[in-house]
Amino acid sequence: MKLQQLRYIAEVVKHNLNVSATAENLYTSQPGISKQVRMLEDELGIQIFGRSGKHLTHVTPAGQQVIDIANDILGKVESIKKVSEEYTQPDQGELNIATTDTQARYALPPIIKDFIKRYPKVNLHMHQGTPSQISEQAARGDADFAIATEAMHLYSDLIMLPCYHWNRSIVVTKDHPLAKRTSLTIEDLAHHPLVTYVFGFDKASEIEKAFNRANLDPRVVFSATSADVLKTYVRLGLGVGVIATMAVDPVADSDLVTIDASHLFGHSTTKIGFRRGSFLRSYMYDFMYHFAPHLTREVVEKAVALRDQQLIDQMFEDIDLPVR
């Protein structure tokens, strides 16, 4: 069994069982990858992939277990490299962050700007996506950190640490019937078409919970992952916008009326997560601290030592998180 073989099967899965795409990404040949995969299967005495002719069709149950372990091994190998770099090049490296559009646009810019100033030799890459895309990138090791709020069940393979709370505001055009209201009810919103974040991120989203408590159904006529896109469609008169308060810019959005909705919806908590067993560089601890000052290196290491996410959540119950 070779490390290269483990890397091949892991990469084949990442590329949706497309061996040609895998070979292209690894700068090698398709026959070479197929041969190494076959040799590994022969050595283990099991099929890792199901086949139809020359094409891979699915991962077998036994293959899935092998691939899970292979990913753990490859992660450990990457951690060994990071340990070396921590001592030989402490101020150099890479930081890959996977997050949503709202976090990337409104929460992270000042943090990123300061980080780049402190670590000019660290290459920082931002990957935006849906919760499922973010969790997959972090679980595969393509992202060092996942920063997300919705669908926490997708991040069960990661250690998730709370950063801050946030809530929502209502945005409407100045000629909208709700524009002169200073306070709204769920019943008020139920009478109007809504423009909000993609439902389905999390079936237990705070918006859906609020409508369920009132035995009402929200009439969502348009949804998107970007707050800026949502505001564009509010301006077009498509509906009432329900967006993160942090996404409202007093200057850029002065043509809209903003109404506080913190009394309508429970707060949401943004968390930062990373793979269990991953080696964190010093600049990674520093990034977490500047993003969420209660996440000192000592606190993060204490959370990592707990290993169980439920215990980690309990650890932060008595901490007053900032609100944005």
Tens of pLDDT, residues 109-132: 999 999 999 999 999 999 998 888
Domains of the chain: 3-82 (1.10.10.10), 90-165+268-316 (3.40.190.10), 168-260 (3.40.190.10)
Residue 204: pLDDT band (50, 70, 90) is low
State residue 199's pLDDT score. Answer: 59
How do residues 138-197 score in pLDDT, each as one tens digit? 887 889 999 988 776 778 888 999 999 999 999 999 999 999 998 999 999 999 999 998
Average pLDDT, the chain: 90
State residue 202's pLDDT score. Answer: 46
Residue 89: what are its φ and ψ, rounded to 5°?
-140, 65
- pLDDT greater at residue 15 or residue 259: 259
- In angstroms, the CA 112 to CA 96 distance is 12
The Cα angle at residue 254 between residues 128 and 102, in degrees rounded to 5: 15
Q: Do 290 and 111 contact (CB within 8 A), yes or no? A: yes
| pTM given for the model | 0.78
How do residues 34-74 score in pLDDT, each as one tens digit? 999 999 999 999 999 999 888 899 999 999 999 989 988 88
How do residues 280-306 score in pLDDT, each as one tens digit? 999 999 999 999 999 999 999 999 999
Strand bridging mode 145-148 / 268-275: antiparallel
| Number of neighbouring beta carbons within 10 Å of residue 22 | 24
